[in-house]
Amino acid sequence: MKITTWFKTKISGNNFLLFITIAMFILMYIAGLVIYSDQGFGNMQTLMNMLMDNAGLIIAAAGMTIVIITGGIDISIGSVIGLVCMMLAFMMEKMGMGAGASIAIVLIFGIIFGFVQGWLISYLKIQPFIVTLAGMFFCRGLTAMISVNQIAITTNKVFLGMANKNIKIPFGAIVNKRGIKLYPFIHPSVVIALITLIVVWYILKYTKFGRSVFALGGSEQSALLMGLNVRRTKLFAYVLNGFLAALAGFVFCLNTTSGFVEQARGFEMEAIASAVIGGTLLTGGVGTAIGSFFGVLIKAIIETYIRCNGTLSSWWNKIVLSALLCFFIVLQSVFASMRSKHNS
Amino acid sequence: MENNVVLTMRGIDKIFPGVQALNKVDFTLKKGEVHALMGENGAGKSTLIKVLTGVYQKEGGEIHIEGISHPLTNRSPEEAQKNGISTVYQEINLCPNISVAENIFVARQPRTRIGAVNWKKMNKDAEKALKKVGLDINVTKPLGEYSVAIQQMVAIARAIDVQCKVLILDEPTSSLDDSEVKKLFDVMNNLKASGVAIIFVTHFLEQVYEVCDAITVLRNGEFVGEYRIAELPRVQLVAKMLGHDVDDLSSLRKTSKEKNNIQNKDSILKATQLGKAGSIKPFDIEIKRGEVIGLTGLLGSGRSELARLLFCADKPEQGDIVFKAENLNAHAPIDSIKKGMAFLPEDRKEEGIIADLSVRENLMIALQARTGMFKLLPMSKQNELTEKFIKMLKIKTASPETLIKQLSGGNQQKVILGRWLITNPEFLILDEPTRGIDVGTKTEIQKLIVNLAEEGMTIMFISSEIEEMLRTVNRLCVLCDRQKIGELKNDNLSQHDVMTAIAGGV
Amino acid sequence: MGTNSNNFRGGFKKLTEMRLFLPIVALILVLLVNIIKTPTFFNVSIQNGVLYGYVIDILNRSCELVILAVGMTLVIATGGIDISVGAVSALAAAICIRMLGSSYDAYAVPMGISILIGLIAGMACGAFNGFLVAKMRIQAMVATLILFTAGRGIAQLISAREIGGKMVPGQIIYVRMESFKAFGGFLPNVVVPTPFFIAAAVVIIAYLFLSKTAFGLYIQATGINSKAGRLVGINSTLITFLCYVICGLTAALAGIISSSRIYSSDANNIGLYMELDAILAVALGGNNMSGGKFSLAGSVIGAITIQALTTSLYAMGVTADQLPVYKAIVVILIVSIQSEELKRWLNSRSKKNATIKVAG
């Protein structure tokens, strides 16, 4: 009985969409276990691969969540990630810079870029989609200006070391045909992503800035009248998002170890979809970083399906994800209209 | 600064595009007093308060507050709060998506030693703060899940929880019931005793005489005077608020004999069991041809909601409307318009004017919609009608092509009125047509209503000002708590009769 | 200094406030730069029986953008945006080309029908966007992001070709019949490129529709204040929906012209970066980006300006991949100039000198 009341209080209202997402993830995972059992879907490593493939997305989705909670949006992050990868590859391969310095530079770039976008949005009050649409094309073009050819990172030992280091997980091992016990492993990128996720969760839940983000997403006018510095909060949200996008770019680059113009195209869509699927309301004011993490996992599981099912072409990734985003925003919209009817 | 004075405002000017909202307004507030700020709608009360709290920037004048030697300029509500000014605004300005406790502590959350938001302490403190206003609710739930009255009490709890020198209450009682108002007054008296100065804005005269020590009256953005409560009897207060246009009353009033004739005419509209959940309880109403029917009640009593259902601005969930002896099967306003209805909404800025269109386009748009998209009205006809109505309604505009947003509030309202008159409606609903406009235009609109009715138009008139209603209507419907509770025939009704009716004693 | 300078200032202010001031000045600026760099810029000759020259080239290549700008102008006027137009172009082109087939002898499906179905597909995409925005009330940005991402994927799936007995998606399908090329090239014995006629027809039809019906007024009312619009009897939902459908139609038309130019469907490259160009054209046309008043002429001039800019940048050695950098900067500059906040800030600075008098 106690559990049901707990469940009722937790599931009420805004959490409902998040619960659907978590339930959906579990169902999809079980379905995967049944359908693709012969392809090792049940291995711990499959789950770890999902995290490794999407480490960058976990970070980017967390940043996107913050921006969407303020009631805004940022569609520039895919291009920012592409640019960051290119910058890293160019600095390390063509300029011979160290990994540490290169990473520091791209992170600072992310902060500056976020600041410019945030300033235009919060101080000049230009609609976020126009600013970030321009930002999207700006970064993509800048990437091409650095180099139109692919640059692979092959010489920087420190960077490659970070990229390829296997961190063993001491459980969930499988025994292969030769009788060797194989422990599942992850790359450092996953560690960075998960730490970032926790930090963003903490910022949103336990800092004055984080709570201000929610207040201003609920009602900008009210937040202003309650004495919040709305403009500064918004600006900082975009700065933080810019930083996280750059960080996501770095993590993304750990996976690809190269830079090219078309990299991470459509990544913004994946981040927005993850956030929305994870229960973040596009109207602002509601959302959690953890929810977006589950959104990423759902996207990852779809990818794994498509990969396991060799006959489906890779275009299906984007199509299915778009369809899922569509489904969830329609669900949100229906949900919102139901609630407003119920409340009045 | 004088003894005991906490706050002085001198010569405050505030200009909005086309309107001088405040003109050299003075205001003085003493320690430990409750000071009523009175005036009609549009007198400038809210504007003055928003200047004080930094929402608007003043164009002229000076503000001094105790303890700060230089003139004060609050550039933002944040700054005003830091300077000891705490506010409860007319519309609830809290965030529905975050918890009650968070709303109380936005921007000043209690922290743990490492600087994190201390949720436990915040929730506990929130409960304490709410206890002061006599509220015992679950503070961890989102605010939006509670009723408007509770939200209002939360807003008050938030305002008094902030250490402040000046507390501003801008119409806090409009959504509260008697016992809640009583609680609020207790809280106010306690604060007063502890030396907090309170500015109290309300429409309810009894409340003013119950808790206030002093009154400042504004009219049309100008300072009328400051009085001690004992020096100013109610009648005089009303006279000061209304100014001297009370004389027009006699000229407008028709003889009661004429009014009675209306009852013999046939009905133009009849609604049975019309209602919408959460908006207004099912009601019946019958309106005679050529009648001016008034709707009266407090803010939130369901006046506007009733009118909106008749016009199908909001879609009714139940009931029928018979209009001109046939069923009005309206799904959207356009259906009602085509049958000969017109509706001037309460919120001119949000629902009335189309700001970036010209006066001509704003005038023609309803007729155009009635005619249909593919039958564009010829320019010659548009110009002719525009000129005719600009002249008829005495609209002050540089040219017909001037954007409506550049006109003053009164002239904007005339354009909206003209927009509907051009469609030549048989049944015209006017929801607060005189709110926030100058006295001259007010009288013009009142006269126009009477004249139109004489020419055979049926008019539904909603106003917060009972005086104005009594001047123009044949019959009054009284609403209370989202319910139609009765009707009054306007046979030399007095304001007092109406007041008692509104309070529930029909 | 007396009235003269004031008059001059007043006159200048009036001039700069004219709706078409910005687009025309921008166009002149781009043309000036070009004529200085290339004195033969305005030379037009007839080579191989068709018109030839820089100006013709710019006009010819701007046709898709002009067509697209018409649709985008309407969508932006309702207070929305459509970033899926590039993907919809590619999708419509893919459908059209797939139906035409790549036989040397005949079309698999007659050209008229193929094009019609391509256009209908575009309208369907527009209807999808419109449904999400107008009916479900989802932010236009996010609603159109769905097709922005999925559109090219679907186009790739449609661009399937039989290879080794299996249909393989993601191929470039070539049309081998000559008559299809006329659509994006030249009609026999006509010196003016065909897209020019199509673009002109689109603009004229749009102009007539907007000036002979109340559609334009309804769009503006919807974009400025949809609540008030509804109360005066305008069906804002339907108006918004229609604008997206029209935008989808223009995107499809632009996509089919593009595919005719290269007589193939290239799902990756048809309409690439078109959404930015179209939005830029509307912004450059002096239209308010948050909806309301719009000017079709402004958008058309804006579109031509963008194409002139693109061509000039190409001439300066900027590659197609790098182009977006400059365009993004131009977009931000334009919307910053339009920003009310900036104006207010500038006003509050100049106000210190002037005293305001307002009549009630």
Phi and psi at residue C265, in whole multiples of 5°? -105, 125
Taking contacts as CB-CB distances below 8 angstroms, the residues of chain B near A198 are none
Residue B201 distance to chain C (closest CA, Å): 25
Looking at B391, B424, B457, which one is the last position of a domain? B424
Instruction: Decide if A133 contacts C83 (C-beta within 8 A).
Output: yes
CB contact under 8 A, C170 and A315: yes
Q: Is A117 exposed, middle or buried (0-12, 13-18, 19+ CB in 10 A)?
A: buried
The answer to whether residue C349 neighbours chain B at the CB level (below 8 Å) is: no
Q: Do B177 and B106 share a structural domain?
A: yes
* Nearest C-alpha in A relative to C272: A137
Question: Percentage of residues in chain A with pLDDT exceeding 70?
Answer: 93
The answer to whether residue B148 neighbours chain A at the CB level (below 8 Å) is: no
Structure tokens at B93: 């300005």
Would you tell me the crossing angle of helices C274-284 and C323-338 to the nearest 10 degrees?
A: 30
CB contact under 8 A, B87 and A202: no
Taking contacts as CB-CB distances below 8 angstroms, the residues of chain C near B332 are 230, 233, 235
Which domain CATH number covers A77?
A: 1.10.3470
In 3D, which of B57, B26, B326, B43 has the Cα closest to residue B170?
Answer: B43
pLDDT of residue B256: 41
Structure tokens at B13: 């000017």
The answer to whether residue C161 neighbours chain B at the CB level (below 8 Å) is: no
Q: What average pLDDT does chain A have?
A: 89
Q: Is B160 exposed, middle or buried (0-12, 13-18, 19+ CB in 10 A)?
A: buried
Q: Do B269 and B232 share a structural domain?
A: no
Provide the 3-class DSSP secondary structure of residue B479.
Answer: strand
Residue C359 distance to chain A (closest CA, Å): 30
Residue C338 distance to chain A (closest CA, Å): 9
The answer to whether residue A337 neighbours chain B at the CB level (below 8 Å) is: no
Contacts of B14 (CB under 8 A, 6+ apart): B20, B21, B22, B44, B47, B48, B51, B56, B58, B59, B221
pTM above threshold 0.90: no
Taking contacts as CB-CB distances below 8 angstroms, the residues of chain A near C343 are none
In this model, does residue A128 exceed pLDDT 80? yes
Taking contacts as CB-CB distances below 8 angstroms, the residues of chain B near A218 are 95-98
Provide the 3-class DSSP secondary structure of residue B484.
Answer: strand
Mean pLDDT for A239-246 is 97
Least confident of B16-30, B236-250, C10-24, C341-355: B236-250
Q: Which residue has the tokens 């902030």?
A: B162
The answer to whether residue A5 neighbours chain B at the CB level (below 8 Å) is: no
Residue numbers of the domain that contains C200: 21-40+48-339
- Residues facing residue B285 across a β-bridge: B271
More confident call, C265 vs A118: A118
> How many domains does chain B fold into?
3
Q: What pLDDT digit, counting tens, does each position of B355-376 carry?
A: 999 999 999 999 999 999 899 9
Q: In Å, how far are C96, C178, C181, C196, C201 from C187, measured between CA atoms? A: 20, 11, 9, 11, 16
In this model, does residue C10 exceed pLDDT 60? no
Instruction: Decide if A288 contacts A341 (C-beta within 8 A).
Output: no
Residue A142 distance to chain C (closest CA, Å): 6
Residue numbers of the domain that contains A198: 45-327
In this model, does residue A86 exceed pLDDT 80? yes
Instruction: Decide if C118 contacts C93 (C-beta within 8 A).
Output: yes
Q: What pLDDT digit, counting tens, does each position of B315-361 carry?
A: 998 999 999 989 988 899 999 999 999 999 988 888 999 999 999 99
> Model confidence at C245, in pLDDT bands (50, 70, 90)?
very high
Q: Which residue has the tokens 């046979």?
A: B491
Q: Do B205 and B96 share a structural domain?
A: yes
Q: What pLDDT digit, counting tens, does each position of A19-39 carry?
A: 888 898 999 999 988 888 887
pLDDT of residue C359: 35
Q: In Å, how far are B46, B91, B152 from B49, measured between CA atoms? A: 5, 13, 18
- Residues facing residue B488 across a β-bridge: B476
Q: Do B330 and B355 share a structural domain?
A: no
Provide the 3-class DSSP secondary structure of residue C86.
Answer: helix
Neighbours of chain A (3+ CB pairs under 8 A): B, C
ipTM of the prediction: 0.84
The answer to whether residue A208 neighbours chain B at the CB level (below 8 Å) is: yes
Q: Do B270 and B147 share a structural domain?
A: no
Provide the 3-class DSSP secondary structure of residue B52.
Answer: helix
The Cα–Cα gap between C37 and C250 comes to 34
CB contact under 8 A, B95 and A207: no
Instruction: Decide if A134 contacts C332 (C-beta within 8 A).
Output: yes
More confident call, A86 vs A176: A86
Structure tokens at C185: 């090239």
Residue numbers of the domain that contains B465: 244-340+426-506
CB contact under 8 A, C358 and B419: no
In this model, does residue C351 exceed pLDDT 60? no
A309 domain-assigned: yes
Q: Do B293 and B276 share a structural domain?
A: yes
Say which amino acid occupies B494: S
Q: Do B402 and B332 share a structural domain?
A: no
Weakly modelled stretches of chain B, pLDDT under 70: 1-3, 17-19, 41-42, 175, 242-264, 299-300, 436, 438-439, 503-506
In this model, does residue C210 exceed pLDDT 50? yes
Enumerate residues 197 to 226 of chain C having a beta carbon within 8 A of any beta carbon in chain A: none
In 3D, which of B110, B178, C231, B314 has the Cα closest to residue A344?
Answer: B314
Q: What b/e readout covers B105-123, taking b as 16+ CB neighbours within 10 angstroms?
A: bbbebeeeeeeebbbeebb
Residue C312 distance to chain A (closest CA, Å): 17
The answer to whether residue A202 neighbours chain B at the CB level (below 8 Å) is: yes
> How many domains does chain A fold into?
1
The Cα–Cα gap between C298 and C283 comes to 9
In 3D, which of A224, A343, A344, A281 has the Cα closest to residue B94?
Answer: A224
CB contact under 8 A, C327 and A137: yes
The tally of CA atoms less than 13 A away on the side-chain side of residue C199 is 28
The Cα–Cα gap between A322 and C144 comes to 10
Interface test with C, best of A74, A270, A299, A315 (most C CBs within 10 A): A315
Q: Is B414 exposed, middle or buried (0-12, 13-18, 19+ CB in 10 A)?
A: buried
Q: Do B457 and B411 share a structural domain?
A: no
B272 domain-assigned: yes
CB contact under 8 A, C230 and B333: yes
Looking at B365, B395, B424, which one is the last position of a domain? B424
- Residues facing residue B358 across a β-bridge: B403
Taking contacts as CB-CB distances below 8 angstroms, the residues of chain C near B343 are 231
The Cα–Cα gap between B51 and B57 comes to 6
The answer to whether residue C269 neighbours chain A at the CB level (below 8 Å) is: no
pLDDT of residue C1: 39
A8 domain-assigned: no
In 3D, which of B260, B282, B319 has the Cα closest to residue B483?
Answer: B282
Instruction: Decide if A234 contacts A122 (C-beta within 8 A).
Output: yes
Structure tokens at B152: 């209002």
CB contact under 8 A, C230 and B352: no
pLDDT of residue C37: 82
In 3D, which of B333, B452, B334 has the Cα closest to residue B393?
Answer: B452
Option in A313, A315, A333 nearest C138 (CB): A333
Enumerate residues 92 to 131 of chain C having a beta carbon within 8 A of any beta carbon in chain A: none
C197 domain-assigned: yes
> Model confidence at C358, in pLDDT bands (50, 70, 90)?
very low
Q: Do B107 and B10 share a structural domain?
A: yes
* Nearest C-alpha in C relative to A139: C325
> Model confidence at A55, in pLDDT bands (50, 70, 90)?
very high
Taking contacts as CB-CB distances below 8 angstroms, the residues of chain B near C225 are 350-351, 353-355
Which domain CATH number covers B195?
A: 3.40.50.300
The answer to whether residue C293 neighbours chain B at the CB level (below 8 Å) is: yes
SS (H, E, C) B312-353: CCCCCCEEEEEECCEECCCCCHHHHHHHCEEEECCCHHHHHC
* Nearest C-alpha in A relative to B100: A215
pLDDT of residue C183: 87
Structure tokens at C322: 């790098």
pLDDT of residue B152: 85
* Nearest C-alpha in A relative to B94: A222
> How many domains does chain C fold into?
1
B345 domain-assigned: no
DSSP string, A152-214: E--S-HHHHHHHH--EE-SSS-EE-TTS-EE--EE-HHHHHHHHHHHHHHHHHHHSHHHHHHH
Specify which of A275-284, B248-257, C292-301 reaches the highest per-range mean pLDDT: C292-301
Q: How many CB pairs under 8 A join A and B?
A: 86
pLDDT of residue B470: 84
Neighbours of chain B (3+ CB pairs under 8 A): A, C
Contacts of A26 (CB under 8 A, 6+ apart): none
Residue C229 distance to chain B (closest CA, Å): 8
- Region label for B94, one of left (φ > 0), alpha (ψ between -120 and 50) or beta (otherwise): beta
Q: What pLDDT digit, counting tens, does each position of A294-324 carry?
A: 999 999 998 888 888 876 677 788 888 889 8
Interface test with A, best of B52, B94, B97 (most A CBs within 10 A): B97
Q: What average pLDDT does chain C have?
A: 87
In 3D, which of B26, A147, A125, A13 has the Cα closest to residue C336?
Answer: A125
* Helix, strand, coil tally for chain B in percent (to 5): 40, 25, 35
CB contact under 8 A, B97 and A285: yes
Provide the 3-class DSSP secondary structure of residue B451.
Answer: helix
Option in C227, C233, C358 nearest B369 (CB): C233
The Cα–Cα gap between A23 and C322 comes to 44
In this model, does residue A84 exceed pLDDT 90? yes
CB contact under 8 A, B97 and A226: no
Residue C339 distance to chain A (closest CA, Å): 6
A135 domain-assigned: yes
Which domain CATH number covers C137?
A: 1.10.3470
Phi and psi at residue B429, in whole multiples of 5°? -105, 125
Contacts of B440 (CB under 8 A, 6+ apart): B410
Q: What is the DSSP letter of A91?
A: I
Q: Is C106 exposed, middle or buried (0-12, 13-18, 19+ CB in 10 A)?
A: exposed
Taking contacts as CB-CB distances below 8 angstroms, the residues of chain C near B377 are 214
Looking at B191, B225, B243, which one is the last position of a domain? B243
Q: Is B338 exposed, middle or buried (0-12, 13-18, 19+ CB in 10 A)?
A: middle
Longest Cα–Cα distance of chain B, Å, equals 79
